[in-house]
Amino acid sequence: MSDAFSREPVWDPRRFPPAARAPRTVQTARMLRDPQGYPRALRDRFGPVFSLRAFPYRGALVCAADADTNRTVLTDHRRFTGGDAAALLAPAVGAGSLICTPPPGHLRRRRLLLPPFHGARIAKWAGRVRELVRTGLPELLAARDGGPVRPWAQRLTLDVILRVVLGLTDPARTAAFRRALTPFVGTANLAVLFLPGPVRRDLGPLSPGGRFHRLRATVRALAREEIAARRAAPDRAHRDDVLSLLLGARDEEGVGPDDDDRLLDELTGLVLAGYETTATTIAWTLHLLAHQPAARDALIADLDTGSDQLLKATLKESSRLRPAVYNAMRTAAHDTELGGRPVPRHAFVAALFPLTHLDPALWPDPDAFRPERHLGPEPAPYALTPFGGGVRRCIGASLAQLETETVLTEVLAAAVPEPAGPPEPPRLVSVTLVPAHGGRVRLRPRGPRDRPPRMS
Ligand code: HEM
């Protein structure tokens, strides 16, 4: 186990916020079965700060579930430190990635990584993203009989990352990366990270740990070749993909990412942080729209006028109800308190976004899907944080928004999402809240009746 886990304090009800009495195995099973409902019941019972005694924590996960405590966990970096808490993901995203870097190194790294993801630069990628969406759309529409959206969206978001982050344009090279990355980032492979230490080890090619390490080695070998090729590329200075920009970047101490291992970690971190999350948001939004005909029809009508107002509101609403990232993790820097409850040093602390997003004090009728609630004044600070907040806020938010908005615009211009079965409950896969069956949707092609002229 990593340092963060070996330092974790053991359970002591006097030093932690209140917890349910049920054994750890039972609480883990309840979380897996109902990752929104179970912690909600704990919040109703204990208030906005409580302990969840579930695997893999031997103490407890301290949970924050309202806007005030969400803000504290996300922004009070002296008390709640990021980076170490992501240790569990380190073998996949790379121990040297931004996600796994604690302060003080974190801010320096972040300054280096932010410019390639700046909103103005992302806007220039819009054409590339639209092209990829249009290329993939026929495949989604062909499977209009009610298949899950998520696998399609995963292929698309992986292609976007390969194009704009790694800058791949050669189809053979793109295909090689896709072949290596798809099994590596797959749920079954990443589940290895949550297995007990000995099972996670490389025990030969047939063991889960062995498979994980081999897939990881293949991905890293490919990325290493790409870095070497890009370093030598004569046109590097004129390229605007993230890899080329990072190779040209220098941070304030005059250090550039010429350490290939660090760059490899950073690139794998970006792929993993940006691919599954965006795909899941796309799947949830189309699935929720299929089950909300009034909201769906209003959105289609608004898009047909050339507006994107309701589109942005719809994406906020789907991220409120079903945030793709379940929580932000921190560790307590010292013995402290949260919302008046004790938190021992080195305890894991999580801002549980789905709970804050469903807090009835912040969101009237919280379970209803009502995009128009986002058309009025801004919500209370830290009431809606699908991309986190503070100095660890998602650096890929603008890219994710570009992708999700482009997909929704293109899909809804061509088809009307309809239910393909009952609404799917959320399931927790690693830190992602996914639709239980991949977000099944029937896509009915739009006929002349529901196709008013689209403004450019
Ligand atoms: C809808 C899609 C996405 C969602 C919901 C999402 C959500 C988040 C959240 C909640 C955090 C903060 C975690 C924390 O505070 O510990 C985060 C961090 C991060 N995200 Fe995203 N993300 C998305 C897409 C992307 C994309 C497309 C990229 C890049 C290609 C990306 C790269 C990152 C990175 C590097 C961090 C770490 C930032 C830091 O530690 O300073 N994300 N994301």
CA of 362 to the centre of ligand 1 (A): 24
440 and 420 in contact (C-beta within 8 Å)? yes
Atom of ligand 1 nearest to the CA of 385: 10
CA of 224 to the centre of ligand 1 (A): 23
Look at the alpha carbons of 76, 78, 81, 82 in this order and tell me if their dihedral is positive or negative. positive
CA of 276 to the centre of ligand 1 (A): 11
Angle at 253 between CA 249 and CA 258, to 5 degrees: 45
pLDDT of residue 194: 75
Tell me the C-alpha distance between 357 and 300, whole Å.
25
| Atom 25 of ligand 1, residue of closest alpha carbon | 274
* Predicted model pTM: 0.95
CB atoms within 10 A of CB 161: 25
| Atom 7 of ligand 1, residue of closest alpha carbon | 387
Report the pLDDT averaged over residues 419-447. 94
The kind and range of the H/E element at 123 are helix 119-124
CA of 286 to the centre of ligand 1 (A): 21
- For the stretch 207-218, pLDDT in tens is 888 999 999 999
CA of 274 to the centre of ligand 1 (A): 7
pLDDT of residue 257: 53
Which pair of structure tokens corresponds to residue 210? 């062995």
CA of 214 to the centre of ligand 1 (A): 26
Is the pLDDT at 69 greater than 90? The verdict is: yes
Atom of ligand 1 nearest to the CA of 242: 30
- Kindly provide the residue ranges of all beta strands, DSSP E only, lying in 289-340, ordered along the sequence: 327-332, 336-338
- For the stretch 72-125, pLDDT in tens is 999 999 999 999 888 888 888 888 899 999 999 999 989 999 999 998 888 889
Atom of ligand 1 nearest to the CA of 404: 1
pLDDT of residue 255: 47
Greater pLDDT, 111 or 200? 111
The end-to-end CA distance of the chain, in Å, is 55
CA of 228 to the centre of ligand 1 (A): 27
- Pocket test residue of 387, 392, 429 for ligand 1, highest count of atoms within 8 A of CB: 387
By CB neighbour count within 10 A (0-12 exposed, 13-18 middle, 19+ buried), where does 238 fall? exposed
Residue ranges lining ligand 1, Cβ < 6 Å: 82, 98-99, 110, 161, 165, 269-270, 273-274, 277-278, 281, 324-325, 328-329, 386-388, 392, 394-396, 399-400
- For the stretch 234-259, pLDDT in tens is 888 889 899 999 888 765 544 455 57
- For the stretch 266-279, pLDDT in tens is 998 998 899 899 99
CA of 85 to the centre of ligand 1 (A): 15
- Of 284, 308, 283, 314, give the one whose Cα is nearest residue 296: 314
Is the pLDDT at 396 greater than 70? The verdict is: yes
Tell me the C-alpha distance between 98 and 292, whole Å.
38
| Atom 21 of ligand 1, residue of closest alpha carbon | 394
What is the chain's alpha carbon radius of gyration, rounded to the nearest angstrom? 22
Q: What residues have CB less than 8 Å from 316, skipping those under 6 apart?
A: 371, 374, 384, 386
Full set of structural domains in the chain with CATH: 3-445 (1.10.630.10)
CB atoms within 10 A of CB 377: 6
Greater pLDDT, 334 or 142? 334
Atom of ligand 1 nearest to the CA of 109: 41
By CB neighbour count within 10 A (0-12 exposed, 13-18 middle, 19+ buried), where does 197 fall? exposed
- For the stretch 304-360, pLDDT in tens is 999 999 999 999 999 999 999 999 999 999 999 999 999 999 999 999 999 999 999
Mean pLDDT, rounded, of the chain = 91
| Largest CA-CA distance found in the chain, in angstroms, rounded | 66
Is the pLDDT at 1 greater than 50? The verdict is: no
Q: What residues have CB less than 8 Å from 35, skipping those under 6 apart?
A: 326, 354, 426, 427, 428, 433
419 and 442 in contact (C-beta within 8 Å)? yes
What are the beta bridge partners of residue 52?
A: 61
Atom of ligand 1 nearest to the CA of 161: 30
* % residues pLDDT > 90 (the chain): 72
Report the pLDDT averaged over residues 434-454. 83
Which pair of structure tokens corresponds to residue 296? 């769906």
Burial code (b: 16+ CB inside 10 Å, e: under 16) for 430-455 equals: bbbbbbebbbbbbbeebeeeeeeeee
Is the pLDDT at 61 greater than 50? The verdict is: yes
pLDDT of residue 451: 60
CA of 304 to the centre of ligand 1 (A): 31
CA of 272 to the centre of ligand 1 (A): 9
CA of 433 to the centre of ligand 1 (A): 14
Is the pLDDT at 418 greater than 50? The verdict is: yes
- Pocket test residue of 77, 277, 403 for ligand 1, highest count of atoms within 8 A of CB: 277
Atom of ligand 1 nearest to the CA of 319: 5
Tell me the C-alpha distance between 403 and 324, whole Å.
14
Most confident region among 1-15, 121-135, 293-307 by mean pLDDT: 293-307
pLDDT of residue 450: 66
